[in-house]
Each structure stands twice: as C-alpha cells, then as structure tokens.
C-alpha cells in the first residue's frame, strides 16, 4: 500500500460499472438469486471483462503510481455477497488493479456504505442507488451502457455539464419554466452573482486539489465544462468558478449544439450530464454518467 494521504480522492464504484457483468445479471433476472450465486461460484476463476468505467479506474489509480503516494483510492461497492463477490476480487487481482477495500451487501442496497468510506464520487449501474447517494450530498452518476472506451494512457480527462451538475438547477428551472429569452435575461442580470453549487461542486474541488498538489505531475488531470449555454450567459459561469477559486482547463459554450463530437475531441474518460437526451448522444462517443438530479429529472 502506498503512503496514506488525508487529501486523497475516494471513488466508490459498483461491480457492474467496473466489470462487464451483463451475462451474470441476465442469469439473476431470468433464473433468480440461487442460480446467480451458483453461476458466480462456478465462474469464480473466470476473469471478468472490463466494464464501461474500467479505463477510468485505471487512469485514476495510475496517479498513485506516478506520484508514489496514495492520491486516489477506489473502493468497490457491490450487492454481491462476500461468497459470490470472490469472482469480482479475483478479477481485480487478475487485471492488476490496486483495489483493497470493498463492501458486499448481500442483495441489499450498498449505497449506505458510501459515506463511511468518505467517497467523493459514486459510480453505479443502479439509478436508485445513485439517487440515494445524491440525496446524501455525494456526487453520483449512473454509468450508461456503451461500447465506446476512453483512450488508454495520457492524462485523466473528465468533462462536466454545468447546470444541475456543477451548479444548482436554479437557472435551468428558469429556462424550463419561462423559456430561453427569460433565461438569458436572468443570467445577464445576475452575471456578478455566483451560481449556487450543484452535486458535483465538491468533486470538482477535489480534482482541483489534486491538480494543484505538488505531488501531481502538471497536465496529468484535465477538466472540461461542456454546456449548452452561450454568450451572454457564459459570464456568470466564469465568474462563479473564479469565486470558487477553482480552475477548469477547458470550457465549451455550445449554444445548444450536440455535445457528442465535442466530447470526442476533448477525449473525455467520462462525461457527467443531468439530461437524458444529452447523455444518450454523449455515450455514443465517450463513457457517460447520467446525474439524475434537478428539474430535468423531477418527473
């Protein structure tokens, strides 16, 4: 184990986000718990294939290797029992991932273990667990199915939507309820007033701490904001980040253009957005996490 770091970034991830467990999950859905348990035990020496978030985890953990300190810890959170979870831990070992802590909840929701692990981010394939984590003020996203993987090697690249992700959904509510003209007028009038923080503000701040740490090689972490906003609604965003004393490396104000090709250009290892249609487009280009938060997810 590398030297402990009190300022480390902690990411909790479900086994279905880390590995491709589609076949196993189908056994559970079609045949029930007992058949699933038998299947996992029979297959416990069969290494699981990487899931959507696997390359992201590799890049996160590589920050420790480069710095010689434990800047990042990845914790496994799983609905498996310890018995059926043995296959998951065997696969972690086979893939050479430095993951040593885990919680196996034996069929119950594992989200309650996220806070005791002091997780800054929770990634899962279960939308209900993600919503519960968000309700507990933990940045969380549902990893969407995708055959697209991030580019191995190079910097860790994380992209965010703005309203209802980095920022609260106050401005988004104005847009949804009163339309674009009212939204632009409201943002222009409030340009000097920082936006309230959204569910991913603390996670962005944690990434910024890593970026500015003397132990992190410059350029190893790149962040980007890709927002549907355009001028003049851009000013409030820029001033908000300045007020938070957080640097974001790249910002793209799309004015409603599709985000997919821009995310591919940035080379995001993961993108977080609250709107399902944006996520559907994004997942065709990069690994994507849906953040079920705010007015767009209130139905």
Q: Where are the chain's structural domains?
A: 9-143, 156-297
Q: What is the pLDDT of residues 201-258, one digit of tens each?
A: 999 999 999 998 877 788 899 999 999 998 888 999 999 999 999 999 999 999 889 9
Q: Is 161 a catalytic residue?
A: yes
Q: 163 — phi, psi (to 5°)?
A: -65, 130
Q: What does the chain come to in residues?
A: 299
Q: What is the pLDDT of residues 4-52, one digit of tens each?
A: 445 789 999 999 999 988 887 787 777 877 777 888 888 888 899 999 9
- Average pLDDT for residues 78-84, to the nearest whole number? 82
pLDDT at residue 6 in the model: 57
Token pair belonging to 131: 């919503």
Q: What is the pLDDT of residues 264-295, one digit of tens each?
A: 999 999 999 999 999 999 999 999 999 999 88
The answer to whether residue 108 scores a pLDDT higher than 70 is: yes
User: Rounded to whole angstroms, how far apart are CA atoms 212 and 176?
Assistant: 37
9-143 matches 156-297 in fold = yes
pTM (2 d.p.): 0.92
- Average pLDDT for residues 136-145, to the nearest whole number? 95
Q: Which of 126, 161, 163, 274 is catalytic?
A: 161
pLDDT at residue 299 in the model: 67
Structural domain 156-297, CATH architecture: 3-Layer(aba) Sandwich (3.40)
User: Rounded to whole angstroms, how far apart are CA atoms 271 and 157?
Assistant: 9
Share of the chain above pLDDT 70, in %: 97
Q: Does domain 9-143 have CATH number 3.40.1350.10?
A: no
User: Rounded to whole angstroms, how far apart are CA atoms 203 and 212?
Assistant: 14
The answer to whether residue 156 scores a pLDDT higher than 70 is: yes
């Amino acid at each position: 184990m590398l030297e402990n770091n009190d300022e480390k970034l902690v990411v909790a991830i479900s086994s279905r986000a880390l590995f491709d467990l589609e076949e196993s999950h189908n056994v559970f859905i079609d045949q029930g718990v007992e058949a699933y348990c038998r299947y996992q035990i029979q297959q416990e020496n069969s290494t699981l294939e990487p899931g959507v978030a696997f390359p992201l985890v590799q890049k996160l953990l590589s920050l420790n290797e480069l710095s010689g300190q434990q800047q990042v810890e990845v914790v496994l959170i799983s609905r498996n029992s310890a018995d059926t979870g043995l296959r998951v831990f065997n696969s972690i070992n086979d893939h050479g991932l430095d993951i040593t802590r885990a919680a196996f909840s034996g069929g119950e929701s594992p989200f309650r273990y996220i806070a005791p692990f002091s997780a800054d981010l929770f990634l899962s394939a279960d939308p209900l667990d993600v919503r519960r984590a968000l309700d507990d003020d933990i940045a969380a996203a549902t990893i969407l199915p995708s055959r697209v993987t991030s580019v191995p090697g190079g910097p860790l690249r994380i992209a965010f939507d703005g309203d209802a992700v980095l920022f609260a959904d106050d401005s988004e509510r104005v847009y949804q309820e009163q339309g674009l003209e009212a939204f632009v007028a409201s943002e222009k009038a409030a340009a000097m007033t920082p936006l309230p923080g959204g569910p991913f503000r603390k996670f962005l701040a944690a990434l910024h701490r890593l970026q500015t740490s003397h132990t992190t090689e410059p350029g190893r972490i790149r962040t980007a904001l890709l927002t549907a906003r355009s001028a003049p609604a851009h000013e409030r965003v820029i001033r908000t980040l300045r007020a938070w004393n957080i640097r974001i490396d790249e910002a793209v104000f799309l004015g409603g253009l599709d985000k997919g090709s821009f995310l591919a250009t940035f080379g995001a290892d993961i993108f977080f957005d609250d709107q399902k249609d944006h996520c559907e487009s994004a997942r065709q280009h990069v690994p994507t996490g849906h953040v079920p938060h705010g007015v767009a997810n209130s139905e």
